[in-house]
Amino acid sequence: MTDLTKLTIAEAREGLKNKDYTSLELTDAFIGNIEAANAQLNAYVTVTADQAREMAKASDAKLAKGEGGALEGIPLGIKDLFATKGVHTQACSHILDGFKPPYESTVTSNLWADGAVMLGKLNMDEFAMGSSNETSYYGPVINPWRKQGSNQDLVPGGSSGGSASAVAARMCMGATATDTGGSIRQPAAFTGTVGIKPTYGRCSRWGVVAFASSLDQAGPIAHTVRDSAILLKSMASVDPKDTTSVDIEVPDYEAAIGKSVMGLKIGIPAEYRMEGMPGEIDELWQKGIEWLKDAGAEIVDIAMPHTKYALPAYYIVAPAEASSNLARYDGVRYGLRVPGKDIVEMYENTRAEGFGEEVKRRILIGTYVLSAGYYDAYYLKAQKVRTLIKRDFDLAWENGVDAILTPATPSAAFGVADQDLHSDPVKMYLNDIFTVTVNMAGLPGISVPAGLDKSGLPLGLQLIGKPFDESTLFQVGQVIEDAAGSFEPEKWWG
């Protein structure tokens, strides 16, 4: 039998329908990969093998009757930010020690309703704060990719590093992830996988541990553009429990794949050509432009003058919302509790021990920018800048642009414990330079693997779309995937 873990979701779906193999066989193959690789890659923080097998058996029973949902029998990994009933949900933070929610997030409920199988919970940056998956209480995730001729451990990106690493290393068929400033697209680019951040409001945030409520959005990471389309169709829905979810019909995203891009107008923003950007990134961008031109798309230059303000504005808005959201973790009702002589000291002790360094940094920044006397100078100004960033995009759409092509990241994956980046948080934050604008404007963005750098590491291109027009991103993304081919790390683990 072929290696079942090498299949795409689309292929596995057909194989299960044709009874070439069972969901239990498929699930067991992935559990085997997890058992062999997780000690080295640290992608999963908990593996639900027994539950997965029970779910797979239930799927097999449905498939045997010719029934079943869109994801019937497909084994997935779930980022530790999504509430999963009775299963470890701790946002990879010490402060949520032992927390197992008595409820299920809307996104995961949608997946289980469509027949998906849960393999376990995936590692991530603590409370989704980080660009390298090194802030997790459970230790860093390792990227399955390595530089040619090197055995240095590399980061998989963040915050959805566990999701990206698990998909790239064939430890699940696809994974849920979240994106607040690039946390789906940057890890996807670092691991040679496809990651889409949908429009704000496309997927319900109910049951997803909050970081920055006006920026957070759930989405999938998968091997191919088609697999991402299949997953997003199941994940997306309106939800009465999330008033920011939008009641717009979820289209059949898969139907967009393979459609011609002839006549589509693709915008190229000069402002994304940053000073000091590596030549390889620029060359890849040019290659992407040529691929789309060859496929019949019209390439137009566009101006996005407020791009340079996006990162500083984001690092005011996101920490401000985080400081408010994380105020609820006090050691009283659930999670970690560190005793003190009175309730105030108990709060202080619990939060001091429970939160990691990066989370504390962002709470402090957020509390500062929201404090009396600074609110207008920082937070209010950042929200005004946000409006201007959205306006840049609105003008592009008004001028007939269908999608925007940019690099996904300013570099390929870097080393674990890179001293240059760890000594200067701002340098780490610069990893989000190409992605934060999309969250600030609430737009959809997809990262598609487009090539390898001179060290043999994957690089991605980003497509940005109009609100709720994920279909065009899948349509154009498929052209890039077809031109670039697929990328697989050379196996050294397991």
Catalytically active residues are 79, 159, 183
Q: Torsions phi, psi of 164, nearest 5?
A: -70, -45
Helix (H) or strand (E) holding 97: none
Helix (H) or strand (E) holding 465: strand 458-465
303's tokens: 């101006």
> What is the distance, to the nearest Å, from the Cα of residue 252 to the centroid of all Cα atoms in its chain?
21
How many of the other CB atoms lie within 10 Å of CB of 179?
Answer: 30
Angle between helices 225-235 and 470-484 (to 10 degrees): 160
Instruction: Report how far residue 329's alpha carbon sits from residue 81's, in angstroms, rounded to the nearest whole number.
Output: 15
Q: What is the DSSP-derived secondary structure letter of residue 334?
A: S
Q: Is the peptide bond before 159 cis (omega within 30 degrees of 0)?
A: yes
* Sheet with 117-122, side-by-side order of all strands: 44-47, 117-122, 75-79, 174-179, 217-222, 194-197, 445-452, 458-465, 403-407, 265-269, 298-302
Helices (H), 302-424: 310-325, 343-354, 357-370, 381-398, 419-422
Instruction: Report how far residue 330's alpha carbon sits from residue 187's, in angstroms, rounded to the nearest whole number.
Output: 31
Q: What is the DSSP-derived secondary structure letter of residue 252?
A: -
Instruction: Report how far residue 59's alpha carbon sits from residue 40's, in angstroms, rounded to the nearest whole number.
Output: 31
